[in-house]
């Protein structure tokens, strides 16, 4: 499938994964020490919901439009960020780098990688005056291998690919393996779309086989799986922050009645617990 961000901005998968992203960033801001965020597939940062791409799919209707006037009690900061870029009616939706930028403190930093040349130029222009943000025109998977561990020794790797390549899952598994080898204490968050169970199960099996530390699998489906249409999405987190499972449960309970057809299902499962030191 092709999941280029502009065509899916503000849909139900975006609401789910970006609310989880905010929760992870909130965890990092609880300590005074600075942190780094590596966003491997950054997109353009901010999306016009009235653009030709967004209008073509109309996916915001089953996503952000359904929570814009009611909010999400379990993740108020996510809702506040959306409101802050829409002083009036809902028109724009923040991508992952924009959400991260909103939550950075003066000492924190974001490295946003985007391989598509046009999207890279737009992203670079958007953040050219923010010294906390570095934009790189490179493969995010290569960046994991090249840029870790960060000097801060604290932070998050957020992997949100468009799933244009047939070997995307294997690339994700390889990147996670290399990343954790270089930065064993970093938080790694991998997102995937759900039409059927193949992608999520493959990622989960790799995590379980390698016994990566504190691995949590979260899936949220506003629609029933049929193997063809986008039913929902999932996230696998390694080095999961404390109480993230409880926070994710509250989030899913909040958004399940609101997104999609209102009969959403969700699951939260620990794949591995904290690994004992060798």
| Residue ranges covered by each domain of the chain | 6-30+46-272
pTM as predicted: 0.95
What is the per-residue pLDDT across 39-52, written as a single tens digit (0 to 9) for each? 999 999 999 998 87
Mean pLDDT of the chain: 93
Q: What is the pLDDT of residue 3?
A: 52
Q: What is the pLDDT of residue 278?
A: 35
The model's confidence at residue 1, banded by pLDDT at 50, 70 and 90, is: very low
Tokens found for residue 278: 């060798």
What is the per-residue pLDDT across 216-258, written as a single tens digit (0 to 9) for each? 999 999 999 988 899 999 999 999 999 999 999 999 999 999 9
Q: What is the pLDDT of residue 274?
A: 65
Residues in the chain: 278
Rounded mean pLDDT, 121-148: 97
Residue 160 annotated in active site = yes
Rounded mean pLDDT, 59-80: 93
Q: Tell whether the model's pLDDT for residue 276 goes beyond 50.
A: no
The model's confidence at residue 109, banded by pLDDT at 50, 70 and 90, is: very high
**Sheet arrangement for strand 265-272:** 133-136, 109-113, 36-39, 155-159, 187-194, 232-238, 215-221, 265-272
Tokens found for residue 75: 């993740």
Q: What is the pLDDT of residue 186?
A: 98
The neighbour count for residue 245, using CB atoms within 10 Å, is 15
Q: What is the pLDDT of residue 14?
A: 96
Q: What is the CATH superfamily name and number for domain 6-30+46-272?
A: Vaccinia Virus protein VP39 (3.40.50.150)
Q: Tell whether the model's pLDDT for residue 159 goes beyond 80.
A: yes
**CA 217 from centre of chain:** 13
Tokens found for residue 50: 């009235």
Distance of alpha carbon 146 from alpha carbon 38, whole angstroms: 11
The model's confidence at residue 5, banded by pLDDT at 50, 70 and 90, is: low
The model's confidence at residue 55, banded by pLDDT at 50, 70 and 90, is: confident
Of 62, 108, 119, 160, the active-site residue reads: 160
CB 187 within 8 A of CB 240: yes
Q: Tell whether the model's pLDDT for residue 124 goes beyond 50.
A: yes
The model's confidence at residue 4, banded by pLDDT at 50, 70 and 90, is: low
Q: What is the pLDDT of residue 53?
A: 78
């Amino acid at each position: 499938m092709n999941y280029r961000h502009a065509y899916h901005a503000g849909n139900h998968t975006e609401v789910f994964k970006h609310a989880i992203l905010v929760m992870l960033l909130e965890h990092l801001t609880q300590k005074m020490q600075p942190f780094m965020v590596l966003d491997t597939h950054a997109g353009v940062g901010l999306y016009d919901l009235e653009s030709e791409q967004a209008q073509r799919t109309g996916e915001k209707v089953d996503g952000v439009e359904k929570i814009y006037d009611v909010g999400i009690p379990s993740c108020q900061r996510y809702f506040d960020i959306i409101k802050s870029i829409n002083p009036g009616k809902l028109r724009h939706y923040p991508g992952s780098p924009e959400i991260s930028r909103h939550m950075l403190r003066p000492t924190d930093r974001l490295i946003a990688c985007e391989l598509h040349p046009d999207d890279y130029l737009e992203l670079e222009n958007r953040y050219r005056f923010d010294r906390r943000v570095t934009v790189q025109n490179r493969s995010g998977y290569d960046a994991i291998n090249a840029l870790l561990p960060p000097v801060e020794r604290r932070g998050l790797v957020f992997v949100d690919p468009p799933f244009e390549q047939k070997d995307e899952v294997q690339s994700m598994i390889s990147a996670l393996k290399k990343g954790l080898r270089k930065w064993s204490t970093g938080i790694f968050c991998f997102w995937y779309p759900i039409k059927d169970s193949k992608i999520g199960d493959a990622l989960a099996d790799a995590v379980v086989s390698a016994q990566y530390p504190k691995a949590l699998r979260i899936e949220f489906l506003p629609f029933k799986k049929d193997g063809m249409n986008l039913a929902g999405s999932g996230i696998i987190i390694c080095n999961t922050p404390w109480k993230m499972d409880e926070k994710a449960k509250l989030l899913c309970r909040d958004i399940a009645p609101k997104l999609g057809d209102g009969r959403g299902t969700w699951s939260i499962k620990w794949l591995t617990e904290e690994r004992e030191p060798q």
